[in-house]
Amino acid sequence: MDHLKWRSTPPQLREPVMVCAFRGWNDAASSATTALETLTESLPSKTIAEIDPEDFYDFQATRPKIKVSDGTHRHIEWPATTFTVASAEAARRDLVLVDGVEPNLKWRSYSEAVLAVAERLGVERVVVLGSLIAEVAHTLPVPITGLASDPELVAQLDLDRSNYEGPTGIVGVIHDLCRREGVPSVSLWAAIPHYVSAVPSPKAALALSERLEKVTGVAADNSGLIEETLEYEEQIGRAVAADPEVQELVGRIEQQQRDRAEAPGEVPSGEVIASEFQRFLRQRESD
């Protein structure tokens, strides 16, 4: 594929698992990409390939950025998708970490490029991370819902299955392509409280990172996320306590979330996600 650029010869890996996260609609409160970044920074790693953005982005919608380095040199930073190999000596498997921006165009071709890298590196399982806005409370554990290509894998990994139907993003497209191509795959989603969705959520990133460890067998250094989560909860708690109406809303959501815990599959709310997707599209148009 012309749009797939290898920086070095593909290495031999140990029972590799590919982990993907994409900025955009799939990444509410930056939780999925933060979890991936935490894992990348925790392990020795090397970027070995990237996807040329030219065919996959509308640069008026996803604009490149000007960066200044050394105080004088200016360069263009284009929307990127990179493939990084990460290894932990004590683990029995290596990881291929895919860090990207959700493309605007040609999602099927883009997904095929991702799977081409997986095939070339002998990837045994693909894990895609996402985070979404839902009616959940910041005071309770972050709900993690999951999909797997094999029903037995759902039980094996102790996933709370989602019955969501509605709009999807590149995470859903890649997961579906894996299923059709016979590549074992898992999709993990963290639910973000809708009333604090505008700020990054280290708590949700931490929950994703901890669940990801169960799927891959490779641990990240989550100490930074733990500290940020304590500060996050303290700040949100103070803000909620200062507004009686929001305090009442959070109390109502807490009760609803506890009730839903007795009926698996009810998180996230399809109506909430559809509404958020429409809001996101309107924002992109205005941008």
Residue 200: give its domain's CATH number.
3.40.50.10900
Q: Which domain holds residue 236?
A: 4-286
Burial of 25 (0-12, 13-18, 19+ CB in 10 A): buried
| pLDDT for position 277 | 47
Distances (CA, A) of 7 to 50, 83, 84, 122, 125: 8, 10, 11, 18, 23
Q: What is the pTM of this model?
A: 0.86
- Total domains in the fold of the chain: 1
Give the Cα separation of 145 and 131 in Å (integer). 10
- Considering only CA atoms, which of 176, 180, 175, 181 is closest in space to residue 126? 175
| pLDDT for position 136 | 92
List the pLDDT tens digit at each of the 287 positions of the chain: 588 999 999 999 999 999 999 999 899 999 999 999 999 999 999 999 999 999 999 999 999 999 887 777 788 999 999 999 999 888 899 999 999 999 999 999 999 999 999 999 999 999 999 999 999 999 999 999 888 887 777 777 777 566 667 888 999 899 999 989 999 999 999 999 999 988 999 999 999 999 999 999 999 999 999 999 999 999 999 999 998 988 999 999 999 888 877 765 444 444 444 454 454 455 445 44
Chain-centre distance for alpha carbon 173: 13
